[in-house]
Structure 1
Amino acid sequence: MGSGSAVGRRPVLRGGLAALLAASSRTAARAESEREHYLLGRGIGDVTGQPAENGMMGYARLAQRTTGIHQRQRARAFLVAEHDAPERRVAVVTVDTGMIFGAVRRAVLERLARRHGNRYGEHNVLLTATHTHAVPGGFSCHTLYNVTTLGFQPATFEALVAGITESIERAEADLAPGHLRVGRGELTDASVNRSRAAFERNPAADKRHFPSAVDPTTVLLSFERGGHPVGVINWFATHGTSLSPDNTLISGDNKGYAAYRWEREVAGVDYRAGDPGFVAAFAQSNAADMSPNLELRPGTGPTEDEFANTRIIGDRQYTAAARLLAGNTTAVRGGIDCRISYVDMSSTTVTPELTGDGSPHRTCAAALGASFAAGAEDGPGPSIFEEGAGNNPFFGTISGALYQASPRLRERQAPKEILLPVGAMGWVPRILPIQLVRLGSLYLLGIPQEVSIVGGLRLRRTVAAELGAAPTDVVVAGYANDYAGYLTTPEEYDQQAYEGGHTMFGRWSLPAYQQESARIAADMASGGETARGPSPAGNPRGGRVRLQPGVVFDSPPLGREFGEVLEQPEGHYPRGGTARVVFASAHPNNDPHRDGSYLLVQRRSAHGWVTVADDGDWSTAYHWDRRGVAASTATVTWTIPADATEGEYRIVHHGDAKAVGGEITPFSGTSRTFRVG
């Protein structure tokens, strides 16, 4: 947390320490006898977008616009290269964001190419999103995803591109010999099926694989050096929707907290100190129908407090992953391989072997169903729309006429009650990437859609059969490299719940993905070349139209100065209490403070003021509010941890003010001191 910070040196907590020590003692015993097979690198980048007045991505609500930060967004990159052939390498990046859009990926690859030539490219860089719904949007070049953000938001786009690129470059600088190990387990109390009626339409053989209608699989890939774990990637399927549509603070949601729990609270990582020390990425899998809201209402389950739920569901993912690290894991052996192919999902013919009815079928131009507008249990839409086939008679009448006029459309999209023909409108991508990455005995299948648990099962089985591997050796990495809605089984599609209405390319979308994934897997198994397919440049784009003006200028509240304290903290707080300070401020979009902070909580020590928390910490919150036309206030809160050291504290706010002529000037303000304990 900057110069003089003691945060990175805080003692690790007992439960996490036990897991790390157990893993360390286990790996130390074999480190001398095992040859190091890989070069491993880790890096973290700050990707926090505009914290004020930026439409948020996920719930598609125009009124949900950012008003501050609860936790910063991070990109966590891992590089794996063969020890004896380091040119054979892959970068796997997990990003605290709603989706990875193709525009972001292309920009990242362009920057990497300028700095590293052909070392990194579309084939060996896998970008995935945690799918948090509590982050700024407006970073797509396709109209559908920028409608509720008032168009393209260049500063948020730049924060993502720069932070992701930096995370990969930091991992590059961190490369050193090490080992990989993989563990598998189950987590049963961090998800619930939000689309049970659709799930029940699947064949009994598929449903038997998920007796509780959830995918409990948790997979851990650990990175070890010198007998010690230095990083992990965990895959588990649950939506990033613990925070409801009413929240307007930036947050990594439950997976963001899981990463923070392990890195910051357990391993003592100081995000602003340079060396990450320990990196923990909590990635998504086939989470389309998996909700963390255990009561199936927004922001509920296991409690009625959405922030408490975010922490609880995140902690459960962390605990399950830490248990795997401390238990039995298997050494990863084998080479590195990666393939990518682009597929025109609007026009793919699927062979009879995968359609289930003995006939070939074809995908079609993207269309959203009326049940899409109804929303899901995590974020219901307008009450005039309902989930389920036949429940939206107005659009059903229109669709019936369309299907009568075009039997081919009926065969491909029915029983969807068509709301918007977004493919014909050019509002979504149609040429999409499918990526397959081999890390020794573990395979990652990158899919640019939200896959249901049964859809994920079928994809894993299909790919494993071509590779001669077990389905458990294949992880479906959803939300990867681009985004085009949901991916349900044909049986689930017929229910036309929210997920089916959002499966845009029609009933045969999943079989098309199975077919194309099998093709790529067969190429990998045989060592043959993989056809790249059509260029994604052929995707229609809505351009980078921005309807929202930027910051014009800032002025402090009447009679005040920037940084002046408007409301001071109380003189004393017990542990568990919340200190609150209000500052005269300016618009935070003037400077995103990437790798920095809008706030610091500091404790007086014998050597001066020591930073103990900033706006990346769970205990803090930064709230921005507009006062009149150009004035702003910043409210900083700090909920004092139970293990906080007794002593004297203060809160510092950093901001940046924009003058009428456009010049931006930094300022700061400091509260009076208060005691804790």
Structure 2
Amino acid sequence: MWRTPTQESPVSPRPRPARTPRTGRLRAAAVALTGGLVLAATAPVAAFQSPATSATSANAASVAAQPYLVGRGIADVTGEPAEAGMMGYADLGQTSNGLHMRQRARAFVIVDRATDRRVLHVNADVGMIFQSVRDAVLARLTARFGDRYREANVMLTATHTHAGPGGFSHHNLYNITTLGYHDKTFRATVDGIVAAAERAEADLAPADLRVATTQLGNASANRSKRAYDRNPAADRAQFSAGGTDTASTTLQVLRDGRLDGVLNWFAVHATSMSTDNQLVSPDNKGYAGYLWEHEHEGVDYLDDSADPDFVASFAQTNSGDMSPNLDLRPGTGPTSDQFENTRIIGTRMVGAAQRSLTSPTRRLVGGVDSRLVHVDLADTLVDGQFTPDGQDHRTCPAAFGAAFAAGSTEDGGGGLPIFKEGKDGGNPLVKVVADALYTASPSLKACQAPKEVLLPVGALDLVQQKLPVQLVRIGDLYVVGMPAEVTIVSGLRLRRAVAEVMGVGIDKVLVQGYTNAYAHYVTTPEEYDAGEYEGASTLFGRYELPAFVQTVHGLAAHMKAGTTPPLGAKERDRSAGQVPSLQGKVVVDDPHLFKKFGDVLTAPSAAYDVGQRVQVEFSGAHPNNHLRHGSTYLTVERKVGASWQRVADDGDWETRFRWRRDGISASRITITWDVPRGTPAGSYRIRYFGDARSLLGTVRPVSGTSPTFAVR
């Protein structure tokens, strides 16, 4: 709490007013909003009304002033921090060996007070939301709340960090880098999302909602500019000269005139951390949430019993071709330090969202509504009104093109060195390899053309092909939930389809990628033809985007008419067929020779200055034994009088927790703390918390404490 605001942030931390206890009672309706409408109770009129009429009028005034109920929740979704393949880059060498910052889920429940219709929005610091996760969450919510939360009104989305442990999909393609399924990470993800949702439901209170859009032009770069430039000039004119989507849209939650939370959408990949990183991290989106919540608002994530006071959720939108690596090389731009880049891009996102607080805002009016359908993208007939040539076309069974194997070179995606981006992979060997891998179906090759088919993942049943597509309405803001990574022009066309049906401006429609399931990329037909990585990863052929446009157009038509479309056939349940991975499995923990668990192996120096790094090593245990949700693997403590006060833990930016195996069963735990600016001089210590497994399988807590050191 001693940090001073960084130069990247234009808004200093604000002192919080005293808060009234939340006991479930309705709050007063009269509020004064900065730069907005003053809403006051009409006391003189009420004085001449009967008590019953007065109460009815007061309730009506309350609903008019705060027409929604909004609840907020935060929970831990951190997966296995050691010996687990990480999700995103498909790099077999990127295996977790510790924790930089915890992954979290941030939930908002929004209820229309007039109709009691609601939506649940959860944004999780994970690589993807898979159908397996969504189905498990829905089952848990149904058991807890009955039919309050259903397919259509639950929107689950991912920040798409590439620095989280994987293995939590029920589709085998995504468990390759983890050598199989990791149930512990799956359960951590599901448990955290459900906990955040339950906390949001319990936190419901009357609210007013405002939305504002600011511009952020120095936090993204178009990593597929050659493909983007193939789009019509009218489409490209909607974006910056460099081909970036600079819109930062922030939904503000005001309860009794006080800002209690924000939900921001901005298009940029959460790939500031490169494949070289092996510490679990929520990347730039998660850091943005942490910065506003913890550093600016004083939220203590370990205080589970308390109101979080503030929730800042930084969600994705159409970020398929938007990279945070401004120099278009992994881990580069704004600097050559991937950790510093994470901090800077996250801070810039917070700055843009905070500028919305003093920008013109639009008050949301109207109800809450939602629609969802499952579409078989392997075989969808697309009407000519949605295709470039005006003719009917069909989508194709899922297949990757050759450039997929090259990976996204700008963001550090894994790939094979013979494969390069560009049509046909830019290498004559590509066709030879592709033909060798796949020769069975000329019809698939024709359907996927001009893509050179590398791997028919649909025929091999490796990816999801029946996909959920969602449309959520919050007042007059519409959010399209897409189960894929959508390029900015693809997002523009999806937004236009909804805006046209609903009769609203395109500024009132957002596309949110990485939502409810995962099916790689969505490019425009023009971008598809370029053969870049994104086009090669557009699984269902050249007319995939038109199929999605057709679908959201239909969802909007149903929403406008007040009708409900058939849900459609869902992806089958694959939970029973998972093969557990041996990666990260703990057989037994032993301390180092002649040591006990928690003993210090390397002590800190006697004193440190602000800006220096403190390092301590302990004889510990494997961290996968207990993921310590709601707790921590470490604390940094300051002596205050006769007691010790926690000043940092494993969820903080300044700490790093590293695990290393020594010998067969010993674990070396290295904890570092970068002493931040503003740290008071005094006596400090670092504590380690772990859990050790015996040969019989029992797990017991262990801990250690460093010698005291001084901060000068």
State if a TM-score over 0.5 links the two structures. Answer: yes
- Could you say which residue in structure 1 is the equivalent of 2:314? 282
Q: Could you tell which deviates more after superposition, 225-234 or 382-391?
A: 382-391
Q: How does 1:133-148 map to 2 (within 5 A)?
A: 133-148=162-177
Classify 1:502/1:107 alpha carbon distance in 2 versus 1 (closer, same or farther; 3 Å). same
CA distance in 2, matches of 1:295, 1:183: 29
Contact 2:484 2:513 in 1 (8 A): yes
- Could you say which residue in structure 2 is the equivalent of 1:189? 218
Contact 2:214 2:247 in 1 (8 A): yes
- Could you say which residue in structure 1 is the equivalent of 2:52? none
Contact 1:43 1:174 in 2 (8 A): yes
The answer on 1:461 being equivalent to 2:491 is no
Classify 1:269/1:311 alpha carbon distance in 2 versus 1 (closer, same or farther; 3 Å). same
- Could you say which residue in structure 1 is the equivalent of 2:109? 79
- Could you say which residue in structure 2 is the equivalent of 1:388? 422
Which of residues 335, 339, 361 in structure 1 aligns to 2:367? Answer: 335
The answer on 1:296 being equivalent to 2:328 is yes
The answer on 1:445 being equivalent to 2:445 is no
Gaps of 5+ in 2: 18-30, 42-63
CA distance in 2, matches of 1:540, 1:164: 20
Contact 1:552 1:658 in 2 (8 A): yes
In the TM superposition, residue 135 of structure 1 has moved relative to its aligned partner by 0.3
Residue 465 of structure 1: SS of its match in structure 2? helix
Classify 1:403/1:582 alpha carbon distance in 2 versus 1 (closer, same or farther; 3 Å). closer
Contact 1:30 1:227 in 2 (8 A): no
Q: How does 1:342-353 map to 2 (within 5 A)?
A: 342-353=374-385
Which of residues 179, 182, 185 in structure 2 aligns to 1:156? Answer: 185
The answer on 1:103 being equivalent to 2:137 is no
CA distance in 2, matches of 1:542, 1:238: 36
- Could you say which residue in structure 2 is the equivalent of 1:4? none
The answer on 1:604 being equivalent to 2:614 is no
- How many correspondences in the alignment? 667
The answer on 1:94 being equivalent to 2:123 is yes
Classify 1:62/1:471 alpha carbon distance in 2 versus 1 (closer, same or farther; 3 Å). same
Give the letter for the 1:373 counterpart: A
In the TM superposition, residue 393 of structure 1 has moved relative to its aligned partner by 2.7
Residue 91 of structure 1: SS of its match in structure 2? strand
Gaps of 5+ in 1: 1-6
Which of residues 206, 209, 229 in structure 1 aligns to 2:235? Answer: 206
- Could you say which residue in structure 1 is the equivalent of 2:530? 495
In the TM superposition, residue 297 of structure 1 has moved relative to its aligned partner by 0.6
Give the letter for the 1:418 counterpart: V
Q: How does 1:285-324 map to 2 (within 5 A)?
A: 285-324=317-356
Q: Could you tell which deviates more after superposition, 324-333 or 368-377?
A: 324-333
The answer on 1:527 being equivalent to 2:562 is yes
Contact 2:3 2:678 in 1 (8 A): no
- Could you say which residue in structure 1 is the equivalent of 2:301? 271
Deviation string 1:431-469 (CA, Å, 9 cap, x unpaired) is: 000011000011110000000000000000011111111
Q: Could you tell which deviates more after superposition, 147-156 or 540-549?
A: 540-549
In the TM superposition, residue 84 of structure 1 has moved relative to its aligned partner by 3.0
In the TM superposition, residue 252 of structure 1 has moved relative to its aligned partner by 0.7
CA distance in 1, matches of 2:699, 2:4: 39
In the TM superposition, residue 383 of structure 1 has moved relative to its aligned partner by 1.4
- Could you say which residue in structure 2 is the equivalent of 1:44? 74
In the TM superposition, residue 15 of structure 1 has moved relative to its aligned partner by 2.4
Which of residues 372, 378, 384 in structure 1 aligns to 2:411? Answer: 378
Deviation string 1:21-66 (CA, Å, 9 cap, x unpaired) is: 9x98617972536521000100001000000001000000111111
Which of residues 645, 651, 659 in structure 1 aligns to 2:686? Answer: 651
CA distance in 2, matches of 1:29, 1:541: 51
CA distance in 1, matches of 2:412, 2:576: 26
Q: What's the RMSD between the two structures over aligned residues?
A: 2.1
Residue 352 of structure 2: SS of its match in structure 1? helix
Contact 1:28 1:228 in 2 (8 A): no
- Could you say which residue in structure 2 is the equivalent of 1:128? 157
The answer on 1:627 being equivalent to 2:662 is yes
Q: Could you tell which deviates more after superposition, 448-457 or 9-18?
A: 9-18
Classify 1:312/1:20 alpha carbon distance in 2 versus 1 (closer, same or farther; 3 Å). farther
Q: Could you tell which deviates more after superposition, 539-548 or 66-75?
A: 539-548
Give the letter for the 1:447 counterpart: M
Residue 320 of structure 1: SS of its match in structure 2? helix
Q: Could you tell which deviates more after superposition, 601-610 or 424-433?
A: 601-610
- Could you say which residue in structure 2 is the equivalent of 1:3? none
CA distance in 2, matches of 1:474, 1:27: 24
Q: Could you tell which deviates more after superposition, 414-423 or 441-450?
A: 414-423
CA distance in 2, matches of 1:592, 1:399: 42
Classify 1:674/1:494 alpha carbon distance in 2 versus 1 (closer, same or farther; 3 Å). same
CA distance in 2, matches of 1:405, 1:65: 35
Residue 116 of structure 1: SS of its match in structure 2? helix
Contact 1:597 1:615 in 2 (8 A): yes
Contact 1:427 1:542 in 2 (8 A): no
